[in-house]
Structure 1
Amino acid sequence: MTKDKTEQRKRLLKWFGFAVGAMTLIGVLYGGPGKTARLLAALGYLGSLGIWAAYTWCIKRDIWRFTDSMEKSLDYMIQGREDPEFDETAESQLSKLQTKLKQLYEIQNHYVQSSLEERKKMQELVSDISHQTRTPVSNIKMYAEMLGEKCTDRDTEEEFLAQLKEQADKLDFLIQSLVKMSRLETGILKIRQEETPLYDTLGRAIGSVLPRADRKDIQISVDCPEELFIYHDPRWTEEALYNILDNGVKYTEPGGKIDVSVREQEIYAHITIRDTGKGIEESRQCKIFGRFYREPEVRGQEGVGIGLYLAREIITRQKGYIEVRSEAGRGSCFHIYLPGKSQN
């Protein structure tokens, strides 16, 4: 029942009560002790009873409708229906309460969905970790068992020991990568942005990949203004840039080249990292930033497929973004955009 109808009913009952009361008062004051007076008094009394009965009935009916509607609304919520049938257009108390219930229902649904998504992510993470650690652990066990055999000679033992060290290093690298990823995702290590020179951050990232680039005779050229200050987390941004550069060195043939340039734009600092490596097929470019993704032809090489995932997460958490443009066999170009000033 709407608010207007309720008020209209109250006014009608009020005027009817006044009419009956007036009739009774006239009978008492002017009718005297005769039959007319008694008749008017009786009519007034019966009218009052009728008004009370009608009013009580209306109240009971409204209560019944209210409880019935609330019961249906609660049933919809208990059954988990996506859109409970609430009348949000009316102005009655029932409608207001139903609106509040719907808001509570939506909040509860949001928490349930978030919990399910978090549980799914955790299951995927555990599955990924189990899959990634299985190979190095199995290899370590295998070489350890071989070393335990008495028939192995000195040269074979040294070969097995070298393989054990390689697998242990791979497992250590994987664990370190997983620790970085988990700390970043869970918020244990937070992004702490400050206005510092991008030149210094980029220099440290390039310095970390130079030894491997020198071993492959890969030339790295850099064009970055020293006076460019941007609002970023130096440590995590260095990690992101290192991961992209490391990928470039890893998948570029000996004698190749990597060009790094930085340009200041109106809102962003634009970092370009271009290599002459193997390139990425267009159909795979949307997948390379996925956790543990590795292209089929490079699965035999070192790496676990976390570097580019971490790079995108780090840049995104600083309100920046990454784009990649590449052609198979013609190298790749990564475009990193970082805010020039605080976006808070």
Structure 2
Amino acid sequence: MKSSYERKKYIYSFVWIGFVSIVILAVWLYIAFGGNVLYTVISTVMIAAALVISGIVGYRRMDEVYSEVENISEKMVKVMDSPDVVTEEEFRQGTIGILYTNFYKMVSFLRESREKELSEKIFLRDIISDISHQLKTPLASLNIFVDMLLDDKVTDPDRKRQVLTEARNQLSRMEWMVLSLLKLARIEAGAIEFQKQSWNMEVICAQAADGVRYLTDKREQKVVIKCDSNIKLECDGDWLTEAIINLLKNASDYSENGTEIDLSVEQNDLFARIYVMDHGMGIPESELPNIFKRFYRVNQEVNPNSVGIGLSLTKSIVEGMGGRITVKSVLNEYTCFEITFVHI
């Protein structure tokens, strides 16, 4: 997009200022030379020629500057029309160079903003899709249970209690899934700021063990805590406790009744590491890359009321606090999750 407005304005201004200046200068020279017309004309012509040459040089320089500005303007239009087109950065010196640099910074910022907006839309779409998909089964089950009770199809008291118990399980499953998905969405969307402060890890481990006591006591399992009382970690204690609780629930689900679950913490000058280890069925090596995906379950027969989101939520919590979570497993021997926080 080019415009001749500034160029024409420059020419008009130069002609008028030059003409007035030449006239004034000619009068002054005429007086200075004592009325000698020849000397006055020659001097005036020479000065006018110099002024014209200066004007032409100035015009060309101005034209180059405006051409560069027009070039940037055209690139802006291309970026607006085709945001995905990557423009090749051009390097200039001086003020024009600064303008080019800021232009490419703006292009990079806009592209990153667009990619972030697109990723957020995809994430929101996936979350909504996941919630709607996962709610179909428990909602369908609840509808069947309610219809059976309303139509008096279940008359036996024991059978009726069984139906109500299963309905309560489905409601609990839906509540857990929705709350967990909302937490996961808030964390991954950056809506939660983890409040880091010094926490005693022995206290966090004890709180996490108490959080699953109802489950381990029912299965006659025992959580064995191995943590020195002086180990402290800069973290958000409440969220880290929830992450460990999810790992302990997972360990309880995939372990036999009457077994032990080890919860231990070690610390050195480089890092602090939390281990959650069960002695259950283990995980096949081919399944390990998938266990942190939403709604992924290794064994569908183990705890059918599980929604398969606890490990995904744990991973988001740990990584949100700057940590890293990994897993090791041997079939029919053990599964061990490791949470690592590197000291900064």
Question: Structure 2 length normalisation: TM-score?
Answer: 0.79
Aligned to 1:104: 106
Q: CA deviation at 1:56?
A: 5.5
The answer on 1:210 being equivalent to 2:213 is yes
Q: CA deviation at 1:253?
A: 2.1
Distance 1:190 1:62 in 2: 51
Distance 1:232 1:54 in 2: 69
The answer on 1:252 being equivalent to 2:255 is yes
Query: Do the aligned partners of residues 242 and 271 (structure 1) sit closer, same or farther apart at CA in structure 2, a change above 3 Å counting?
Result: same
Write the mapping of 1:1-344 to structure 2, written as runs, cut at 5 A. Answer: 33=36, 37=39, 40-41=42-43, 43-44=45-46, 46-48=48-50, 50-51=52-53, 53-55=55-57, 57-59=59-61, 61-79=63-81, 80-88=83-91, 90-155=92-157, 156-185=159-188, 190-295=193-298, 297-298=300-301, 301-338=304-341, 343=344
Query: Do the aligned partners of residues 128 and 238 (structure 1) sit closer, same or farther apart at CA in structure 2, a change above 3 Å counting?
Result: same
Query: Do the aligned partners of residues 167 and 38 (structure 1) sit closer, same or farther apart at CA in structure 2, a change above 3 Å counting?
Result: closer
Would you say how many aligned residue pairs link Structure 1 and Structure 2? 318
Shifted more, 323-332 versus 215-224: the winner is 215-224
The residue identity in structure 1 corresponding to 2:126 is: E
Distance 1:310 1:211 in 2: 21
Shifted more, 184-193 versus 158-167: the winner is 184-193
Matched position secondary structure for 2:224 = strand
Alpha-carbon contact 2:285-2:329 (below 8 Å) kept = yes
Distance 1:300 1:275 in 2: 16
Distance 1:38 1:255 in 2: 118
Query: Do the aligned partners of residues 320 and 57 (structure 1) sit closer, same or farther apart at CA in structure 2, a change above 3 Å counting?
Result: closer
Distance 2:276 2:234 in 1: 20
Alpha-carbon contact 1:231-1:339 (below 8 Å) kept = no
Alpha-carbon contact 2:274-2:338 (below 8 Å) kept = yes
Matched position secondary structure for 2:255 = coil
Q: CA deviation at 1:245?
A: 1.0
Query: Do the aligned partners of residues 253 and 60 (structure 1) sit closer, same or farther apart at CA in structure 2, a change above 3 Å counting?
Result: same
Alpha-carbon contact 2:253-2:303 (below 8 Å) kept = no
Q: CA deviation at 1:195?
A: 2.1
Alpha-carbon contact 1:279-1:332 (below 8 Å) kept = yes
Distance 1:284 1:183 in 2: 27
Alpha-carbon contact 1:140-1:164 (below 8 Å) kept = yes
Distance 1:319 1:174 in 2: 25
Distance 2:192 2:43 in 1: 86
Matched position secondary structure for 2:273 = strand
Distance 2:270 2:143 in 1: 53
Shifted more, 197-206 versus 178-187: the winner is 178-187
Distance 1:188 1:107 in 2: 21
Q: CA deviation at 1:98?
A: 1.9
Distance 1:318 1:42 in 2: 79
Distance 2:252 2:311 in 1: 14
The residue identity in structure 2 corresponding to 1:230 is: L
Matched position secondary structure for 2:212 = helix
Q: What stretches of structure 1 of length at least 5 have no aligned partner?
A: 1-23
Alpha-carbon contact 2:68-2:96 (below 8 Å) kept = yes
Shifted more, 79-88 versus 240-249: the winner is 79-88
Alpha-carbon contact 1:205-1:238 (below 8 Å) kept = yes
Query: Do the aligned partners of residues 152 and 304 (structure 1) sit closer, same or farther apart at CA in structure 2, a change above 3 Å counting?
Result: closer
Per-residue deviation, residues 109-142 of structure 1 (Å, max 9, x unmatched): 2211111111111111111111111111111011
Alpha-carbon contact 2:184-2:313 (below 8 Å) kept = yes
Q: CA deviation at 1:298?
A: 4.4
Shifted more, 171-180 versus 321-330: the winner is 171-180
Q: Name the Cα RMSD after superposition.
A: 3.2
Distance 1:93 1:69 in 2: 15
